[in-house]
Amino acid sequence: MTDLFAPLQSLKQGDWFKLICGASFQHLPAVRSLTLAYTLAGADCIDVAADPAVIAAAQAGLQVARTLARDAQKRGFDYKGNSPFLMVSLNDGEDPHFRKAEFNPTECPTDCPRPCERICPAQAIVFNSIKSDFSGVLSQKCYGCGRCIPVCPYSIIYTSSYMSTPGAIAPLVMSTGVDAVEIHTKVGRLAEFEQLWQAISPWADQLKLLAISCPDGEGMTDYLRAVYNLIAPLKSALIWQTDGRPMSGDIGDGTTLAAVKLGQKVLAAKLPGYVQLAGGTNSYTVAKLKAMGLLSDLRLPILDFGLEDTNPQSKIQNRSIERSRNPESKIAGVAYGSYARVLLSPILEQLENKEVSNTNVKAPVRLEEDDTLLWQAVELAHSLVSQIKSQQER
């Protein structure tokens, strides 16, 4: 696999940033806007649902971003027109990322305080929405976090899960320009994983990257070794995504600690490939990784017994060489899901409200059509991306 792709360089350097739009998230305007903003902010990968319409929305965002590269640079953003990898997520069994909430609104008592509506981070639960009289779950916005379920006073909310369709992978990879695939698996599902992999493997050589996402469990590292034996040899780069606290969406440092601890566990297993955090990642994550010495910092000279090297650049180069030879020695990057999406939600909400209030608009308002909102969104996205990108000097 060639190393000419900028995202692969980020993996080697240890400053990889992935945006997770959500394996179940199908709100096309939001996917397009999130892709555009985070691409201009310097993201290395955009992970979306394996749905042709969602893929097309993300690709539209990528295309617009390329036309705005010069404007982004003038505004101080480091985007140079290199497209991030476009990734689709698949599952080999029951998985919280591949579900949606459902309920029958006619069963809701009229005096219910509707805590589900308030707690939903995707604003997917509505009652008598502005655009229509619809009440219930907006399926295209729901990404299955499940936070509405325990707060329902009447226990009438449930989830509906679905499985990936391997037969659809070939056209996605061959005709829609998908660069990467992520497989969500779980300890004990080796047979199911193998079945899914057999369906994908004829086209695996066309991928630039394969990611395996797995939450913790007894015997996890042995399971991941068994998975590797099934997929090896690979022509593409390989990421182990450590799903510390799946679908948490929390902002506290406790969730990020779970993600970091699982990352340490997978690093200790010394599996071939890169280790990338997910599940509970938020504004605390990079700071925690820095404090624990789990990120490569090629900017700083190494201090030996309190004495600074007289030629720190030589050690910077040596660290870079060591990193490329031994990628498993450090965390290679971080993926952000609901935290990254919620960060931009005020901008996306303004965009939606603008569409609703302006009756003269025949088509949905797009992010790049509002210069103020566009660069506000990019600035917000950059505030997250730059946390890990500031590890390196470009």
- The H or E element that residue 19 is part of is strand 16-20
For 390, the token pair is: 């500031």
| Mean pLDDT over the full length of the chain | 82
Q: How much is the pLDDT for 357?
A: 59
- Give mean pLDDT, residues 353-366: 67
Q: Residue 184 and residue 214: Cα distance in Å, rounded?
A: 6
CA distance readout (Å), 341 to 141, 182, 383: 12, 19, 13
- Say if residue 3's pLDDT is above 80: no
d(CA 76, CA 3): 26
* Res 162: pLDDT: 64
Residue with tokens 């996306």: 348
Q: pTM of the full predicted structure?
A: 0.81
Give CA–CA dist 339/343, Å, rounded: 6
* Between 298 and 89, the higher pLDDT residue: 89
Q: Distance of alpha carbon 97 from its chain centroid, rounded?
A: 12
Gap between the Cα atoms of 296 and 318, Å rounded = 12
Contact (Cβ atoms closer than 8 angstroms) between residue 116 and residue 148:
yes
Strand partners, 385: none
Which range in 21-35, 158-172, 289-303 is most confidently predicted, on average pLDDT? 21-35
Report whether pLDDT(355) > 90.
no
The 3-state DSSP composition of the chain as helix, strand, coil percent (nearest 5) reads 45, 15, 40
Q: Which residues contact 254 (CB under 8 A, 6 or more apart)?
A: none
Asked if the model's pLDDT at residue 50 lies above 90, the reply is: no
How far apart CA 158 and CA 99 sit, in angstroms, is 10
- Give burial (CB, 10 Å; 0-12/13-18/19+) of 129: middle
For tokens 């590292």, the residue is 221
Pairing verdict, β 16-20 and 99-102: unpaired
For residue 305, pLDDT beyond 50: no
State how far the Cα of 190 lies from the Cα of 77, in Å rounded to an integer.
43
Q: Give 278's pLDDT tier (boundaries 50, 70, 90).
A: very high
Amino acid at 230: L
**Residue-wise pLDDT tens digits, 188-231:** 999 999 988 988 888 888 899 999 999 999 999 999 999 999 99
